[in-house]
Amino acid sequence: MEAQNLIDIKENDLLKIDRTLLEILLKDKTTGKNIIWATDNYSKYGFSYSAEKEIKIELITSRHGGIIKPRTKKSKEEQQKRVRQKAEVFTPSWVCNLQNNLVDEVWLGRKDVFNIEKERSWEATKEKIQFSDEKGKSWQDYVNSNRLEITCGEAPYLASRYDTVTGEYIEVPNRIGLLDRKLRVVAENTDSREDWLKWAMVAVQSSYGFEWQGDNILIARENLLFDVAEHYEANFHEKLQTQDLIGFAKVIAWNIWQMDGLKFVIPNSCCTKEIVEEDLFESHVISKPCEGCKLGYGKNSYFKHNGIYCKIRDWKENKTLRFVDIMKEGEKND
């Protein structure tokens, strides 16, 4: 298959592999329903495609297959509209690499570990990545260290399958995403398929991202899933089994979630509520707007919203928690 055809993961193709995969990748773990469109870009297709509606399998497959596509395959008009509406701006891979290198430089204590930066490009290093004997700095610690891409779009900082600006496909050995780096380390330190799968799962469990728009959420989830599959195939020269794909998809559906990054709730879930108050003589309907939205953005409004607060999974502690509560803990530690 030509490299350009590898960029756009077709929902019809996912359906052929196993319908369960697409069901999982569309799930919103906070609401138990599907992720929503959260954009009017698809409303031309009908009422079911309006911003507040769930993305259903039948809306994006069969004769509707192909309506969800990466930014580089959208028309210039669509791209500009999304920039105007949601300030959607995608970062070229060489910039993602530069910033990811800074993260690793801090963690590893040295430069040029995964690649050598060049002018608007890079060259992957060939030698095995070395880790120190210092406590908390082993290769296992690196793979298990949490990484978060905020407003992740198609998740280029996590899984660099292609350049989101140029549309150029990136071969596995030259990828620079945070998950790609973890998977490289896994490959360099495991020999068996079983060990690779075990530590690849840890790498995925420690890779997070959130985004507003539903189509981006699905694309980001697909990118992480196929990133794992393509790394596996590069290492073992065989396709990842469907049951393993499903296992990774279940984690990815938790770790890449739909959220208003300023309110920590499901997009557009805050609302004005009608409250009925009664006295001795009559009842009154009072409109009560969201208190958090009235307060604006900032820590004073974190816990005041009446929208649906997003939940994520802490795989290390094996528990579910609200993302907003993590923010509260972060403030305590500042």
Domain housing 108: 1-258
Quote the strand ranges of 82-220, DSSP E: 115-118, 121-124, 147-149, 207-211
Q: Would residue 120 count as lying in a domain? A: yes
Same domain, 212 and 189: yes
The answer, yes or no, to whether residue 1 has pLDDT greater than 50, is no
- Alpha-carbon gap, residue 219 to 226, rounded angstroms: 10
Selection from 192, 215, 190, 216 nearest residue 203 by Cα: 190
Selection from 16, 15, 271 nearest residue 24 by Cα: 15
Here the tokens at position 76 are 């210039």
Q: Would residue 202 count as lying in a domain? A: yes
pLDDT computed for residue 85 by the predictor = 67
pLDDT computed for residue 2 by the predictor = 47
**Contact indicator for 68, 11 with CB cutoff of 8 Å:** yes
Residue type, 271: C
- Left if phi > 0, otherwise alpha if psi is -120 to 50, otherwise beta: which for 38? left
**Contact indicator for 311, 325 with CB cutoff of 8 Å:** no
The answer, yes or no, to whether residue 76 has pLDDT greater than 90, is no
Element (H, E) at 56: none
Average pLDDT over residues 141-170: 96
Q: Which of 233, 258, 283 is the last residue before a domain boundary?
A: 258
- Alpha-carbon gap, residue 310 to 150, rounded angstroms: 14
Same domain, 147 and 215: yes
Number of domain units in the chain: 2
Same domain, 251 and 289: no
Same domain, 278 and 189: no
Q: Would residue 265 count as lying in a domain? A: no
pLDDT tens column, 35-56: 999 999 999 999 999 999 999 9
Average pLDDT over residues 117-134: 94
**pTM, 2 dp:** 0.93
Residue 169 DSSP one-character state:
B
Same domain, 169 and 313: no
Average pLDDT over residues 94-116: 97
Q: Which of 258, 285, 306 is the last residue before a domain boundary?
A: 258
Average pLDDT over residues 123-133: 94
Can you tell me whether residue 292 is helix, strand or coil? helix
Q: Would residue 127 count as lying in a domain? A: yes
Strand partners, 122: 117
Same domain, 8 and 95: yes
Same domain, 137 and 168: yes
pLDDT tens column, 19-35: 999 999 999 999 999 99
Long-range contacts of 133-142 (CB under 8 A, 24+ apart): 137/108, 139/185, 139/188, 139/189, 140/199, 140/202, 142/107, 142/108, 142/182, 142/185
Higher pLDDT, 299 or 175: 175
Q: Which of 258, 283, 308 is the last residue before a domain boundary?
A: 258
pLDDT computed for residue 328 by the predictor = 72
